[in-house]
């Protein structure tokens, strides 16, 4: 190579820069525009103050209104009129100022650091006036500095109007795109050798002696023609490789901004998408999350109408499946179904679209229950990129069948889009994983070629998906991306062909390419993210609220269903109910429920939850009021809202000063009820009928009760267990009297404190080195708070650093379960608390409850895949067992587990400081430790978990003695088969009968028989409540066959 040839790429680059400067003409910069410190509202126009070009504006969470009236000068006659707004802030993050641009009082486009320019009109006439208004927001993160270390400081602002010369604009991209390809693949590659001489010749042909002259414009025309013939129309050896590209903007419903800010982000981002759809006929835009569309419909109904029109044209794709892009570890199975139910209903009702794709690019791991839930909700495909964030292990596939715990398979694609040779660095300057891919791509050769390079299965197929557009905080696609995509659509050498597409079109193409192929791989079980493990625990209060709502919703829907069967005229407030459900589902967004949102988000979240509780309690009270007159006056009706027989705790109010009451049912001796507060009692009922009511007479004061439980200051004992406490408050021994076996291998219920300072992503992450710094808590003060025939409760109180920890340790007379009701006033940072139980149980795997089933995970670290699961997630319990004996660790709102080397740990709290310090404050939760015979199935651990989370509840009857009672309509639905759990009974969405959700929870095949006293017609349906087939009902009974972990839904009608 001679010296001249060595600078070919540089001179091509210089030519593109020259063209970028020359494409804009007739530039006019206003010396001053108007500004008002007001939120834009055209019904109340303020007096605007002068704002000079280059003046500063901004700060923390500020709103403002900029205004300017522009008169078209003669030199712009017949030309395109453009506007751009530039700032000196150049980092796209939460602190970036953002604007909604109005032209002549019509919303036109979002303006931000990546969308600085806007086409106001295709052709203008001299003397025309264009009124420009900017609804401005300054951005926010934290008050001092943001995550990226940049201050929420004011920034300079500039405005200018100009024309673009279309021919020069087109040549700029004609030259820029092949140049970018050459930079990536190298001029010595086959495509480089093919293209470089032509690009060099094109630069030679460009006359830059007199820019703007006739000779210049003639040369532009000739160069464009030459490039078309020599580069764009040439055969491309990679033409069979297709990058299916969809415009997109990922909008976090709340993250480093509040819900109210998200509503503004939607207006800006969707307006930008509408503007680009108007300008570029080939452009296609996709957005998930019906909540965002509802925001737009409420705030900008005219823009929403435009969305509807583009949906009809097939150019705007509402997809994604769920109401919001929800976390998939923490919500219950029923919550996930409601995400689909509410999400799909919205897209169907507003746009006539049947959503078929689960679109979760940024969620922190995916439960093995999801494939079945997806399929039974009418979802056929799944897309994410997040698993590429694994810190250690790379999943070897990008296109595969994902099989869940029941064997259901879902066609899955991990979008491989990433920059070609770009290396990301963490805040400490160390390179992150080279495998990380993006859902916020730029449609340019760097990502298109980089995506194909990163794609793991080039032998399987030749297509992959790119979601392009700025995101997280919205923004979306830019004109530059579409312009570059247009060029790559023409099969340039060295570059995969861009196909402007919907996501659905991509998956349908992918399905034809790979389904039925023997080399299509299968991934079994959960998609565990080796990252963001702290989200199982951060912001404990939001996880508690979510679990409480899930439990109360189950109980409330059961009671509403019972009320409907007893009184068909009973009605719930459908508008309030639907709004409540939407709010509940929105709070499950993947930064809100995991605890990784800004601190100011959570007061909004708390207010929403209080409204949810209010709506649920109102409906609960109304349903109870319907049923109470049908229950005998003064009798205690204990209600089991679940469709399987179980025993458990029941608490009730009764006016009495007796320490112990007796509950009698028929001729039986009855059960003691122990006083636990002012007119408040607790009893343990050994058996309550499935989905039914059991009546008790309350027999005044119970004078003599045999002691079945005792405490001597050191030992707590019942018929099953002898528990010995040490001086430091830990449990030294749990001895199983029946099995003659010690459970613990060391002190149990040790509250372990660890320094918790992850190297990045504070609220998100637990770094494995936390184990190196453990701190010992002081011995507690011990008092007895309850002592009676039902239970004994021992309170342990500790002060440590600036915080206080109170635990009531409760043992029941006839149960192996030990409850630890915990109250914490936490005032420290970067400390993690765990409760540890070392057990004398050897097992290579532990069982964890997930949605509608269980999964097993290793208790060792044999491989990197095993070691990376040092913190995992469970729903209500985890269990470690030998074939004949084990122990379970249950919870009522905690999710982070760590079961390794014969130690069972539950993570109780974390206390990060960024992006929130919400865990400073009040915590309340209960966890339980339960030794048991046999494995978790034989011990019926699920029923214990239900009892902890969904206990029996009671009401006092107010009816007559004739006993024409609502339990004649009971059970709503029951099953006596082991391992079959009837969890949800609810009114059908269409008002036709009741819907019941049933699952097989033991991982076994079952033939199950069900009984209903309230319905005569039963149909099996999918989770969207569409009937599949009628079932035979005989004398109130019907049967279903279950595969392991199968979920079934039935509709019951009179």
Q: pLDDT tens, 644-654? A: 999 999 999 99
Pinpoint the alpha helices (H) of 897-1027.
941-949
Specify whether the CB–CB gap between 336 and 326 falls below 8 A: yes
Residue 653, beta-bridge partner list:
680
Q: Which of 88-102, 115-129, 848-862 has the lowest mean pLDDT?
A: 88-102
* Residue 692, pLDDT above cutoff 80: yes
User: Average pLDDT of 112-138?
Assistant: 97
Average pLDDT of the chain, as a whole number: 94
Longest dimension (CA), the chain: 111
User: Pairing state of beta strands 285-287 and 316-318?
Assistant: parallel
Element (H, E) at 297: helix 290-299
- Which structure tokens are listed for 177? 């795109």
Looking at residue 237, its pLDDT comes to: 67
Specify whether the CB–CB gap between 496 and 459 falls below 8 A: no
Q: What is the DSSP string of 30-90?
A: -SEEEEESS---TTS--PPEEEETT-EE--SS-EEEEEEEEEPPGGGTTS-EEEEEEES--
* Residue 623, pLDDT above cutoff 50: yes
Confidence of residue 59 (pLDDT cuts 50, 70, 90): confident
Q: What whole-number distance in Å separates Cα of residue 804 and Cα of residue 927?
A: 18
Does 502 or 967 have the greater pLDDT score?
A: 502
- Closest Cα to residue 97, out of 63, 66, 131? 63
Looking at residue 667, its pLDDT comes to: 74
Residue 478: half-sphere exposure toward Cβ, Cα within 13 Å: 17
- Which structure tokens are listed for 24? 């804009």
Specify whether the CB–CB gap between 897 and 890 falls below 8 A: no
What percentage of the chain has pLDDT greater than the value 70? 96
User: Average pLDDT of 1029-1042?
Assistant: 96
pLDDT digits (tens, 9 = 90+) for 254-278: 999 999 999 999 999 999 999 999 9
- Which structure tokens are listed for 932? 């048991």
- Which structure tokens are listed for 232? 């764009």
Specify whether the CB–CB gap between 250 and 211 falls below 8 A: no
Confidence of residue 696 (pLDDT cuts 50, 70, 90): very high
Element (H, E) at 101: strand 98-103
Q: What whole-number distance in Å separates Cα of residue 838 and Cα of residue 835?
A: 10
Does 430 or 867 have the greater pLDDT score?
A: 867
Confidence of residue 142 (pLDDT cuts 50, 70, 90): low
pLDDT digits (tens, 9 = 90+) for 500-515: 999 999 999 999 999 9
CATH assignment, 24-164: 2.60.120.260
CATH of 973-1054, one of 2.60.15.10, 2.60.40.1180, 3.40.605.10, 3.40.50.1240: 2.60.40.1180
The structure's pTM equals 0.96
Q: What whole-number distance in Å separates Cα of residue 751 and Cα of residue 806?
A: 11
Pinpoint the alpha helices (H) of 406-502.
445-454, 479-488
- For tokens 């969904």, the residue is 950
- Which structure tokens are listed for 651? 């608490």
pLDDT digits (tens, 9 = 90+) for 523-542: 999 999 999 999 999 999 99
* Residue 144, pLDDT above cutoff 50: no
- Closest Cα to residue 310, out of 340, 341, 353? 353
* Residue 965, pLDDT above cutoff 70: no
* Residue 985, pLDDT above cutoff 80: yes
b/e map 385-422, b = 16+ CB within 10 Å: bbbbbbbebebebbbbbbbbbbebbbbbbbbbbbbbee
- Closest Cα to residue 993, out of 1021, 964, 1034? 1021
DSSP conformational letter for 228: I
Q: What whole-number distance in Å separates Cα of residue 894 and Cα of residue 540?
A: 8
User: Pairing state of beta strands 671-677 and 660-664?
Assistant: antiparallel
Q: What is the CA radius of gyration of the chain?
A: 32
* Residue 149, pLDDT above cutoff 60: no
User: Average pLDDT of 892-907?
Assistant: 98
Specify whether the CB–CB gap between 833 and 931 falls below 8 A: no
* Residue 1, pLDDT above cutoff 50: no
Q: Does the domain at residues 532-618 carry the CATH identifier 1.20.1270.50?
A: yes
User: Average pLDDT of 850-859?
Assistant: 98
What CATH superfamily is the domain 750-951? Golgi alpha-mannosidase II; domain 4 (2.70.98.30)
User: Average pLDDT of 353-366?
Assistant: 98
User: Average pLDDT of 726-754?
Assistant: 97
Confidence of residue 141 (pLDDT cuts 50, 70, 90): low
pLDDT digits (tens, 9 = 90+) for 810-820: 999 999 999 99
User: Pairing state of beta strands 1027-1031 and 1017-1021?
Assistant: antiparallel
User: Average pLDDT of 900-925?
Assistant: 97
Q: Which of 958-967, 970-979, 1023-1032 has the lowest mean pLDDT?
A: 958-967
Specify whether the CB–CB gap between 718 and 707 falls below 8 A: no
- Closest Cα to residue 1032, out of 1043, 1024, 1040? 1040
* Residue 146, pLDDT above cutoff 60: no
Confidence of residue 150 (pLDDT cuts 50, 70, 90): low
Looking at residue 143, its pLDDT comes to: 46
Q: What whole-number distance in Å separates Cα of residue 128 and Cα of residue 119?
A: 16
- Which structure tokens are listed for 521? 């791989």
Confidence of residue 167 (pLDDT cuts 50, 70, 90): very high
Does 701 or 850 have the greater pLDDT score?
A: 850
User: Average pLDDT of 825-842?
Assistant: 98
Q: Does the domain at residues 242-531 carry the CATH identifier 3.30.413.10?
A: no
- Closest Cα to residue 708, out of 852, 629, 813, 800? 813
Q: What whole-number distance in Å separates Cα of residue 404 and Cα of residue 188?
A: 47
Specify whether the CB–CB gap between 178 and 231 falls below 8 A: yes
Looking at residue 964, its pLDDT comes to: 52
User: Average pLDDT of 658-687?
Assistant: 92
Q: What whole-number distance in Å separates Cα of residue 653 and Cα of residue 678?
A: 9
């Amino acid at each position: 190579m001679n010296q001249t040839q060595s600078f070919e790429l540089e001179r091509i680059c210089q030519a593109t820069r020259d063209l970028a400067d020359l494409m804009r003409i007739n530039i006019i910069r206003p010396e001053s525009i108007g500004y008002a410190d007001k939120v834009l509202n055209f019904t109340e126009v303020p007096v605007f103050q002068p704002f000079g070009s280059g003046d500063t504006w901004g700060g923390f969470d500020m709103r403002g209104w900029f205004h300017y009236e522009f008169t078209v000068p003669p030199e712009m006659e017949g030309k395109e009129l453009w506007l751009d707004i530039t700032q000196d802030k150049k980092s796209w993050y939460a602190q970036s100022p953002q604007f909604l641009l109005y032209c002549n009082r019509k919303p036109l486009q979002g303006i931000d650091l990546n969308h600085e320019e806007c086409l106001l009109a295709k052709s203008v006439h001299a003397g025309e006036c264009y009124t420009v208004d900017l609804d401005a927001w300054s951005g926010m993160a934290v008050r001092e500095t943001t995550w990226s270390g940049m201050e929420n400081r004011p920034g300079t602002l500039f405005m200018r109007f100009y024309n673009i010369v279309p021919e020069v604009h087109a040549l700029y991209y004609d030259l820029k795109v092949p140049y970018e390809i050459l930079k990536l693949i190298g001029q010595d590659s086959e495509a480089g050798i093919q293209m470089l001489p032509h690009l060099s010749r094109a630069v030679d042909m460009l006359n830059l002696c007199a820019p703007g002259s006739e000779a210049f414009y003639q040369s532009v025309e000739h160069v464009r023609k030459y490039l078309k013939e020599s580069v764009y129309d040439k055969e491309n050896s990679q033409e069979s490789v297709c990058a299916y590209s969809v415009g997109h903007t990922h909008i976090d419903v709340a993250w480093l901004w509040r819900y109210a800010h998200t509503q503004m982000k939607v207006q800006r981002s969707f307006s930008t998408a509408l503007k680009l759809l108007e300008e570029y006929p080939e452009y296609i835009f996709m957005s998930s999350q019906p909540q965002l569309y509802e925001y737009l419909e409420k705030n900008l109904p005219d823009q929403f109408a435009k969305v509807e029109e583009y949906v009809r044209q097939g150019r705007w794709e509402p997809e994604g499946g769920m109401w919001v892009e929800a976390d998939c570890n923490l919500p219950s199975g029923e919550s996930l179904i409601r995400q689909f139910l509410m999400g799909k209903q919205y897209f169907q009702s507003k746009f006539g679209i049947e959503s078929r794709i689960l679109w979760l690019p940024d969620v922190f791991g995916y439960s093995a229950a999801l494939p079945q839930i997806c399929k039974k909700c009418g979802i056929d495909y799944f897309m994410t990129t997040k698993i590429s964030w694994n810190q250690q292990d790379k999943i070897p596939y990008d296109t595969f069948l994902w099989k869940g715990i029941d064997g259901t398979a879902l066609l899955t694609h991990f979008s491989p889009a990433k920059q070609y040779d770009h290396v990301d660095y963490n805040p400490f300057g160390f390179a992150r994983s080279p495998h990380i891919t993006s859902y916020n791509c730029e449609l340019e050769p760097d990502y298109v070629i980089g995506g194909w390079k990163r794609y793991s299965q080039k032998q399987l197929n030749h297509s992959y998906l790119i979601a392009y557009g700025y995101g997280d905080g919205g923004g979306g696609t830019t004109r530059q991306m579409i312009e570059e995509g247009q060029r790559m659509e023409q099969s340039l050498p060295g570059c995969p062909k861009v196909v402007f597409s919907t996501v659905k079109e991509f998956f349908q193409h992918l399905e034809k390419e790979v389904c039925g192929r023997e080399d299509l791989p299968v991934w079994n079980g959960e998609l565990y993210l080796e990252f963001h493990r702290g989200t199982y625990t951060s912001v404990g209060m939001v996880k508690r609220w979510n679990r409480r709502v899930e439990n109360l919703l189950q109980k409330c829907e059961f009671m509403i269903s019972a009320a409907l069967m007893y009184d068909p005229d009973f009605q719930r407030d459908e508008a309030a109910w639907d709004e409540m459900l939407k709010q509940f589902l929105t709070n499950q967004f993947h930064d809100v429920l995991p605890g990784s949102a800004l601190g100011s988000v959570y007061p909004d979240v708390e207010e929403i939850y209080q409204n949810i509780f209010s709506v649920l309690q109102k409906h609960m009270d109304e349903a109870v009021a319907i049923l109470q007159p049908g229950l005998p006056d003064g009798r205690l009706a204990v209600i089991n809202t679940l469709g399987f027989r179980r025993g458990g705790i029941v608490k009730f109010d009764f006016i009495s000063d007796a320490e112990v009451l007796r509950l009698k049912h028929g001729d039986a001796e009855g059960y003691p009820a122990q006083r636990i507060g002012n007119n408040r009692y607790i009893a343990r009922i050994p058996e309550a009928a499935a989905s039914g009511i059991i009546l008790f007479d309350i027999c005044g004061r119970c004078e003599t009760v045999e002691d079945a439980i005792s405490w001597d200051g050191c030992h707590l004992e019942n018929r099953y267990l002898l528990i010995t406490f040490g001086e430091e408050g830990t449990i030294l021994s749990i001895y199983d009297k029946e099995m003659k076996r010690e459970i613990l291998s060391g002190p149990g219920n040790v509250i372990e404190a660890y320094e918790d300072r992850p190297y990045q992503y504070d609220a998100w992450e637990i770094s494995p080195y936390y184990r190196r710094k453990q701190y010992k808590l002081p011995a507690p003060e011990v008092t007895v708070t309850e002592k009676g025939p039902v239970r004994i409760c021992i309170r342990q109180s500790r002060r440590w650093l600036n915080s206080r920890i109170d635990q009531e340790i409760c043992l029941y007379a006839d149960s192996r379960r030990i409850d630890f009701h915990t109250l914490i006033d936490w005032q420290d940072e970067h400390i993690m608390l765990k409760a540890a139980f070392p057990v004398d149980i050897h097992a290579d795997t532990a069982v964890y409850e997930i949605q509608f089933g269980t999964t097993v995970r290793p208790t060792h670290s044999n491989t990197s895949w095993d070691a990376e699961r040092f913190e995992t997630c469970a729903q209500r319990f985890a269990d470690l067992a030998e074939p004949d004996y084990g122990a379970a660790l249950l919870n009522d709102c905690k999710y982070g587990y760590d079961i390794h080397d014969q130690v069972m740990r539950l993570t109780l709290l974390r206390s990060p400081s960024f992006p929130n310090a919400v865990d400073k404050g009040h915590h309340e939760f209960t966890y339980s430790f339960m030794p048991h015979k046999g494995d978790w199935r034989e011990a019926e651990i699920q029923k214990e978990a239900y009892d902890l989370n969904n206990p029996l509840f009671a009401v006092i009857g107010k009816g007559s003695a004739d006993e024409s009672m609502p339990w004649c309509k009971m059970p709503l639905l029951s099953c006596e088969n082991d391992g079959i759990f009837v969890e949800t009974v609810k009114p059908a969405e269409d008002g036709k009968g009741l819907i019941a959700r049933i699952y097989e929870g033991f991982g076994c095949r079952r033939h199950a028989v069900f009984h209903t006293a309230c319905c005569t017609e039963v149909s099996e349906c999918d989770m969207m409540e569409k009937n599949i087939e009628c079932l035979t009902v005989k004398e109130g009974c019907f049967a279903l066959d279950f595969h392991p972990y199968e979920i079934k839904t039935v509709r019951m009608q009179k």
